[in-house]
Structure formats: structure tokens, C-alpha cells
Homo-oligomer: A and B are copies of this chain.
Amino acid sequence: MDTVFEGEIRYRQYLSSQGDPLSALPVWAQQPEWLTHCYRNMVLARTMDNKAVALQRTGQLGTYASLLGIEGIDVPLGLLMHPEDVLIPYYRNHACQMLRGMPMEEILLYWGGDERGNAAEQQGEDFPNSVPIATQSMHACGVATALKIRNEKRVAVTLCGDGATSKGDFLEGLNVAGAWQLPVVFIVNNNQWAISVPRALQSGAPTLAQKAIGAGIRGEQVDGNDAIAMREAIEIALERAREGKGPSLIEAISYRLSDHTTADDATRYRSNDELKKAWEHEPVKRLRTFLHKQGWWDETQETIWQDEVNSMVQSAVERYLATPPQPVESLFDYLYAELPEQLREQREWAMVKAMKGGTHHES
């Protein structure tokens, strides 16, 4: 029997969990600038995240999906995408959204149950969070199709979790990206869990990156806790897409260090031991250790930055909390470019009802 196809998946990693280089570093990683910048933003993201969880616990935010453990993926990505690229995120990419200019208070507004959290003009053409799993993969292909049709040197980047790779949308997306050679990059945040379902139950495939093989596109596996490896992988993929060399799939191996959302209790289904081990590999400490060892970052800088970051987050929270709710008409006013005649009567009712005051179920 002739072999008619051969494929392989390789694994990219530079830093050990202890922050030591495992092989020669890329040239750019021999300089402090980018990596300290990256680190600062990872700390900012984590601080914002802690605050968001705290807000939820005190009833000031809705159900919230923590970004804990995704910093090594989202922060490099946010720094590397061009402003004119298009981010088509899932619901865990607040760090990347922030780096692309979305004000922190808008992020909170979204998780506070307000559509205006998707409306920040700084979001440009970026998509809002996608709640229906994996649907964003396909939107990214649609965006990439538009970019390709118009011959623009822009890239559509989309993210999803390991669980999402089981859904048709993700798989159909990979396939059309390959068939049409679209300028799109798929990043899978393989954080080992889809709520309570472990990675092993999602697929019999030993890697998720090999789903790229099924679609005939480029795929690789990367240590998602290693910001250096992630930058390398993302840069290559962005560059290829931008140059018309086709799509890529990056499986970034990470770990969901938080509960699935604030509505979840992960102790019901995963062991403390596993979680404790995962913390040994986490991206923020890893990069900090590396920077320390390089002499590019020290405790004083850390303290100063922590203070700075805390006050940035605090003022964002204040702006968020000061945002008055939308008027009831807002239910109607963005449904269509122009409200159809037929809906005017209901809009009136809604306003009258709101004026009459208290609805039965108090907010």
C-alpha cells in the first residue's frame, strides 16, 4: 500500500516552568523591551481578573468567566495583532480585548449585563464575545473571506477552547479556511477542561492541533504558558496569513486555573492536586522568573507596577459602577437600523410600563 499522505505535529516551547531557556532564544527575546511589556500586561490582566471575580462575589457583576491561565496566550496575541486585524474572540479573551484598546470599564459593563459593553468604539471591527460555542470560528472565516475578496493585508484571528474543537462550527471553519486558503488564524486555548469535561473525553486525537491535518492546513502545538513560544507561533501564523500563505491552527496548551465561571464549582469534578500542579506551570510566574533571572525585572519594579495597575483597575471599576442603566427603549432601538412601524406600539408599552415603575422581579 502506497503512502499518499504524511503529516506531523510539532511542539513549540522555549522556557521551562522554572523560567529557564530550554534552547536558544529568538533574537527578540534576548532584549528586555517586549518581554517586560508583555509581563506588565499579564499582571494588569490578572489584576483586572481578580477584581472582576470580587465584584461578582459581591453582587456587582454577573456571571463572569475568569481569564486566569490564559495570560500567556492572550497577552502576546493582543500585542502582536495589528490594529487593522480583526479579533473574533470567545468569552475568555478580555486580556486581548483590552490590549486592542477596549476600555476596562467596557469589559466590566459587558459582564455586568449591559450590551454597551460590546459597543466601545475602540473595538473597531472586532467581534463581541461569542457565547454560543465555536460559532466565532466560522465568523472568522467570513471576515477572512471579506479580507481576501478585497485583497486586504489583514488577518482574522479567532480563539476558542478545547471543548469547542468538538463542535461542527470549528471543524467546518478549519475546512473552509483550508479550501479557500483564508487569512485566518485559529488559536485553541486548550486549558484541559470544558466546564467539567476533561480534554481526554473531547476527542480521541492525541493532539488537538492535528485537527488541522484533517482540514489540510498548518497546525502546531505550543506551550501556552510560555509567552516566548506563543509570540513565535503567533508571529509566524499572522505573517503567513497576511502574506496570503494560508491559515494556521495553534493549539496552545494551558490550564484553566479558575472555576469555569463564577457560576461553577470546579471542586466537584477536579482534584486539588491537579490544580496545584497546574499552578507550577502558570505563565505569569514563569515569565517573571525568567525576567528576574535575566535581571530585567525586580521586586521594586513589581511593587511599583502592582500599585499602578491596582489604581488603573480601581478607576475603571469606578467608571463601570457609575454607568447608569440603559433606558428601556434600548430594547427596541438597536434591533434594526430603523424601527419598523410594527414595533412602535410595543416600544410605547415598554416605556409606559417602565414609568409605572418597579417590575415584579426586582433587578
Binding site for B on A (CB under 8 A): 1-12, 166-169, 171-172, 175-181, 201-207, 209-217, 220-221, 246
CA distance A212 to B176 in the complex (A): 17
Minimum Cβ distance to chain B for residue A187 (Å): 17
Contact: B172 with A168, CB < 8 Å? yes
Contact: A181 with B205, CB < 8 Å? no
CA distance A2 to B213 in the complex (A): 17
Neighbouring B residues of A9 by C-beta, 8 Å: 3-6
Contact: B210 with A214, CB < 8 Å? yes
Neighbouring B residues of A206 by C-beta, 8 Å: 4-5, 216
Contact: B179 with A203, CB < 8 Å? yes
Contact of A3 among B1, B8, B167 (CB under 8 A): B8
Minimum Cβ distance to chain B for residue A168 (Å): 2
Q: So how many copies of this chain end up in the complex?
A: 2
Neighbouring B residues of A205 by C-beta, 8 Å: 175, 178, 213-216
Contact: A213 with B4, CB < 8 Å? no
Extra 9 A-B pairs, beta carbons < 8 Å, given A4-B207, A205-B213: A1-B10, A1-B11, A3-B9, A6-B8, A7-B7, A179-B204, A203-B216, A204-B216, A210-B214
> Would you list 29 pairs from A and B whose C-beta atoms are within 8 A, ordered by A residue?
A1-B11, A1-B220, A3-B10, A4-B10, A4-B11, A4-B206, A5-B8, A5-B209, A6-B7, A6-B8, A7-B8, A7-B210, A7-B213, A166-B172, A166-B176, A167-B168, A167-B172, A171-B172, A171-B214, A175-B204, A175-B205, A177-B204, A178-B205, A180-B204, A204-B215, A205-B213, A205-B215, A210-B214, A211-B214
Minimum Cβ distance to chain B for residue A177 (Å): 8
Neighbouring B residues of A1 by C-beta, 8 Å: 10-12, 220
CA distance A140 to B178 in the complex (A): 27
Minimum Cβ distance to chain B for residue A215 (Å): 6
CA distance A8 to B168 in the complex (A): 24
CA distance A140 to B212 in the complex (A): 24
Neighbouring B residues of A203 by C-beta, 8 Å: 175, 178-179, 215-216
